[in-house]
Amino acid sequence: MSNTPIILASSSPFRRELLTKLQIQHQCISPDIDETPKADESPKEISLRLSIEKAKEVAKSINTGLIIASDQVAEVDGIALGKPKTRENAIKQLMSMSGKTATFHTGLCLYNAETQKYQSCIEPFQVVFRTLNEQQVSNYVDKEDVLNCAGSFKSEALGIALFEKLVGEDPNSLIGLPLIKLTKMLEQEGVNIL
C-alpha cells in the first residue's frame, strides 16, 4: 500500500467507522463549509457539490495527501431531507417517508492535494419504508439517537425495523461512505487496499 497520507474530510463518527473497515491509516479533518443548498439545486447536485467543496476546503490546510469527502442528501417525493436536528423534525421526516421509497444520494470525492485533481460520483441507495404510525415512529426516535442522521434513522441499528427493503449497490453508501466506489478511486491513485 502507498505511503500517501489519507485524510477523511469529516467529523462524522459513522464515516470514520466505515473507513476503518478498509484498514488504511488515516486522519480526520473536519471541513467548515456552508451547506446551504443553492436555488434550484437537486438533492443529487447538493450531495455531489458538497462532497467536492468539503475536500477542497480541507486541501487548503495541507499540500500532500488524498482527501476523502462525502455528503448525503435524502429525497422523498422530490423534496430533500437533511439532518433533523430535533426530535419533532425526526418524527416529521420519518412520517413523511412512511409507506414510500426514499432515495439517498451520497456524493463521494477523492481529492489529490498535490495535483489538485479529483474523482467524484454520486451513489444512490433506495429505502422502501414500511407503513408506520406515529407511535412506532416516536418509539423509534426515543430509542435511537438519530438527530444528526440524514433521514432520521440508522440502518445499521434499530432503524432496519422501519423498512420493507433496501435497494442499492453498496450498503455502506446508506450509512454515509460508498466504500466500493472509494476503493476503485483509491486504486486510481495508487492505493491498493488488498
Contact 70, 150 (CB under 8 A): no
CA distance 76 to 97: 7
Query: Which residues are paired to 24 by β-bridges?
Result: none
Residues 6+ apart with CB under 8 A from 174: 104, 106, 125, 127, 155, 166, 168
Q: Catalytic: which of 32, 34, 40, 71?
A: 71
Q: For residue 170, indicate whether it is catalytic.
A: no
Lookup result for grid cell 459513522: 14
The most distant pair of C-alpha atoms in the chain lies apart, rounded to whole Å, by 53
Asked if 23 contacts 191 with a C-beta cutoff of 8 angstroms, the reply is no
User: Quick one: which of 126, 125, 82, 74 has its CA closest to 101?
Assistant: 126
- The residues assigned a catalytic role are 71
